[in-house]
Chains A and B, each alone.
Chain A
Amino acid sequence: MIFSLDKLNEMSDSKLHEDQKYIDGLVQNNSFIIQSIYEKFAPKVISYVCKNSGDQDQAQDLIQEVLVVIYDQAKSKNLQLTCPFDAYFFLLCKRKWLNILKKSSLKQVTINEEIVSNNEPVQEMVLDTEHTETQQHLFDDMFQKLGKVCKTLLTKSFQLNSMEDVAKALDLTYGYARKKKSLCIGKLTRMIQESPAYQNLKT
């Protein structure tokens, strides 16, 4: 159930927030909207990072990273915002910053603040987005571990329009290319299933 793609259906009962325009703007790569996200929401994140052992450059990197995470969530999971963008974006930034600090062994930092939200829709959206990010990292890591043949075949399979084109590009028969694609995805799913990170994601 954790890997189900039906999140959209589950959320269809919730009311779409008017701030969905920021999500749509990110997906459409709309310069005006991206700039307005910076103008409206970046100062709060920068101030937070600077007050918690970071500097402006680190805050800017964090913002970029989080906006890419939101972009991925929107593109791959059709993110439908049911809470204000500010709350969603800020909580994602805060939680990611705390993780960065935790990983940095040089800094002993205490943040005396809750990093969960009392607001249920915000909390749910943030956890869902973080889940997708972790899942993507896991899938990516496992993909890198696949053999060269599978990597090439899968890359072409999702870059080109049809399996006929893939077969032609790789000098294979159509039937073999199709069969091999299924088996390569199958192999990847087995590697994912066997990884400890997958078990963590399921629980």
Chain B
Amino acid sequence: MEDRDYILFEDYLTNELDEGQKANFEKRLKEDKDFREAFELYQSTSHFLSHKFSNAQEREAFKQKLHKISDSYSETNKVAIHKTRYFKPWKLAIAASLLAIIGAFYSQWFSSTPQYEDFADHPKISLTVRGDSQAIKKEAEKSFNTENYKQAIPLFKSLLEVEPESIELQVYLAIALIEQDRFKKADTILNSILELPNAYSSQVKWYAALSKLKQEDYTMTKFYLELITEDAMEYDQAQDLLRKLD
């Protein structure tokens, strides 16, 4: 192709051609195989460059998060393997029998209403934040992951001052608030997130339900659980909790 062809490709892709020029260009695309192939490659190359440079920061953030989740998964997994190595089958049988006996007594003496603690199994978090907040970020992660929610709350708040639009940080703050029984603030955050479509919608519904469960407001717990759709990751546990509430 000549230099003028590449200039034409760019003009076509950026809508710089007038109607007549555009029609001529498209006619040539149909009739000239080499021209069409060169254009398709030009288009693919532009698309590649756009992906490479426009998404560079986002992609890096994704890779960083992946790395941290992978490390955290690896640690948990190794601990699990280590623990089971020393747990002999006969011990398991005794433990199972004891659990069955305790369970039988428990169900006789206590109400079967599901408890918040039975369902509040929060994931380990790994944050990706912008700017100079690395130290606070590490502290926030550590506090949350070691269940020191009281300490985590102000840390999430200061991270949110830098990134007020981060839904991820808002969700973690809401979880920490629920853990500290600061329901009003937690519910306000969760409801405001739910007003807009976002990637965390089903998780937010789940935590809104857990907040209500902890407050023993079972009607609202059910309300939020029923919002969780079948395709969501939280659907099975939501259905399980709904069954236990009936």
Residues of A that sit less than 8 Å from B by CB? 1, 3-5, 18, 21, 24-26, 28-36, 38-39, 42, 46, 56-57, 60, 63-64, 67-68, 71-72, 75-76, 135-136, 139-140, 143, 154-155, 157-159, 178-179, 181-183, 185-186, 188-190, 192-193
Please, how many angstroms separate the alpha-carbon atoms of A139 and B51 in the complex? Answer: 12
Chain B proximity of A62: nearest CB distance (Å): 10
Docked CA distance A29–B3 (Å): 40
Question: Which listed residue (A25, A71, A190, A192) contacts B59, Cβ 8 A?
Answer: A71
The list of the 8 closest CB pairs from A to B, nearest first, reads: A186-B6, A28-B199, A158-B53, A182-B10, A3-B44, A76-B51, A182-B6, A38-B73
CB pair B233 A158 closer than 8 Å? no
Contact in complex: A186, B1 (CB < 8 Å): yes
Chain B contact residue count (CB 8 A cutoff)? 53
Instruction: Tell me whether B180 is interfacial, beta carbon within 8 Å.
Output: no
CB B16 to nearest CB in A, in angstroms, measures 9
Quick one: given A31-B123, A186-B42, are A5 and B51 in contact (CB under 8 Å)? Answer: no
Indicate whether B226 reaches chain A with its CB closer than 8 angstroms. no
Contact partners of B55 in chain A: CB under 8 A? 75
Establish whether residues B53 and A30, one from each chain, have CB atoms under 8 Å apart when the complex forms. Answer: no
Contacts of B230 in A (CB 8 A): 18
Main secondary structure of the interface of B (DSSP, over half): helix
Q: How far is the CA of A71 from the CA of B40 in the complex (A)?
A: 23
Task: Tell whether, in the assembled complex, residue B126 and residue A185 are in contact, meaning their CB atoms are under 8 Å apart.
Answer: no
Within 8 A of A (CB), among B112-167: 123-126, 128
Mask, B54-72, CB within 8 Å of A = 1, is: 1110110111011101100
Q: Do the beta carbons of A29 and B128 come within 8 Å of each other?
A: yes
Residues of A within 8 A of B73 (CB): 35, 38-39, 42, 60
Instruction: Tell which of A29, A31, A135, A158 has the most Cβ of chain B within 10 Å.
Output: A31
Spell out B's residues near A (CB within 8 Å): 1, 3, 5-7, 9-11, 38, 40-56, 58-59, 61-63, 65-67, 69-70, 73-74, 77-78, 123-126, 128, 168, 199-200, 203, 230-233
Tally A-B pairs: CB < 8 A.
136
CB distance from B213 to the nearest CB of A (A): 19
Q: Is the CB of A183 within 8 A of B3?
A: yes
Chosen A-B contacts, 16 in total, with CB atoms closer than 8 Å, are A3-B44, A21-B233, A29-B62, A31-B65, A36-B233, A46-B77, A56-B78, A57-B74, A60-B74, A63-B70, A71-B62, A76-B47, A140-B52, A182-B10, A188-B45, A189-B6
- When chains A and B are docked, how far (Å) is the Cα of A36 from the Cα of B132? 29
Task: Return chain B residues, CB-CB under 8 Å to A57.
Answer: 74
Chain A residues whose C-beta falls within 8 Å of the C-beta of B70 in the assembled complex: 38, 60, 63-64
Q: Tell me if A189 and B45 are in contact (CB < 8 A).
A: yes
> Which among B6, B9, B44, B78 is the interface contact of A5 at CB below 8 angstroms?
B44
| B49: A residues at CB distance < 8 A | 143, 154, 157-158, 185
Q: Which residues from A are CB-within-8-Å of B203? A: 32
Report the minimum CB–CB distance from A168 to chain B (whole Å): 17
Is B7 a contact partner of A179 (Cβ separation < 8 A)?
A: yes
- Contact between B69 and A30, CB atoms less than 8 A apart: no
With A18-B231, A32-B233 given, is the CB distance from A75 to B44 under 8 Å? no
Q: Are A159 and B53 in contact (CB under 8 A)?
A: yes
